Amino acid sequence: MEEWSTLTHRVRREEAGKMVRQVLRNRFRFSRRMFRRLKEARAVEVNGDTVFITSRVYEGDRIRVRLPGDEGAGVEPQPVPVHLVYEDEDIAVIDKQPGVVVHPTKHYPDHTLANGLAHHWQERGEFHLIRPVTRLDRDTSGLLVFAKHPHAHARLSAQMQQKRYRRDYVAVVHGRLHSGQGSVDQPIARSRTHPRLRTVSPEGAKALTHYRVLERFPQATLIRLRLETGRTHQIRVHMAHLGHPLLGDTMYGGKGDRIGRQALHALHLSLYHPRGGHPRSWTAPLAADLKQLLEELRGDEEDSPLYKPKGQ
């Protein structure tokens, strides 16, 4: 089992006399599974000596945890372009380009973003299983976070459940949203007639989307959205439910004559870093096709009697 990273902690006064397990649980929020792996690998040291996790510690002791490396085949490394925004020993933040599938599936078995990330790590002499914290549809562009080990994935997944992980998107929808902002609080379920699709249904899981108008055009609106939940196709389903499907989203009623995909981009994300707990945030510029779409829509404004500047 390959060692790849370590965590350290200096025992504080209030922690003196506690077991190593208690201190690590409070400090790093290790799962039971992680404790089992650490115990089996004898991967915990205090002041340089390997100890049992039931050992007692005292003020000033230095606890060092050697995180076991990943094992297994993983996905096949392939030279798929990966646009890295940020990377350290715990996470990788990627600006996904449109048209790229995140992870191998039955219909897309290779040349996915996961294959490209595995190749990137291989080139650096690293091996990690692919652990996306969130996912994006194939034709949605923007920010994604991958965890590089089980502990980071568990911490970030917990943040999502606790709503401490913020995701903001921008989208262009059909029609003019007259309300400057609003929320869609409608449950989403799998369609009974088309399994690939989702639909608003009282039998579905809770889904909450907030939106704010950024710019209005003669026949479309640019909006910014924030998700409280992460249901499949949530933004696409909610905006179609309002009667304003995304441009290019032919699955949910949008037209594809302006852009060949749904006009949706994961613009911004904020999270608390899994190692130190400090806040981090990133923003990804709009993909080239979305920039071109907005330029075309702004060009339509000049000759249209329907256009009204923002705020009117």
Residue 278's φ and ψ, nearest 5 degrees, are -85, 150
Longest dimension (CA), the chain: 77
DSSP single-letter state for residue 193: S
Closest Cα partner for 66 from 124, 149, 176, 140?
149
Helix axes 20-28, 32-41, angle to 10 degrees: 130
Q: What contacts 12, CB < 8 A, 6 or more positions away?
A: 59
DSSP-based three-state secondary structure for 3: strand
Write phi, then psi, for 50 (nearest 5 degrees). Answer: -65, 130
Encoding tokens for residue 68? 């076991």
- Output helix, strand, coil percentages for the chain, rounded to the nearest 5: 20, 30, 45
Q: What residues does 167 pair with on adjacent strands?
A: 269
Please tell me the distance from the alpha carbon of residue 130 to that of residue 114, in angstroms, as a whole number. Answer: 6
Active-site choice (137, 168, 249, 289): 137
User: What residues contact residue 16 under an 8 Å CB cut-off, 6+ apart?
Assistant: 57, 58, 59
Question: Token pair of 141, please?
Answer: 């562009």
Q: Residue 249 catalytic?
A: no
Report, as residue numbers or ranges, the catalytic residues. 137
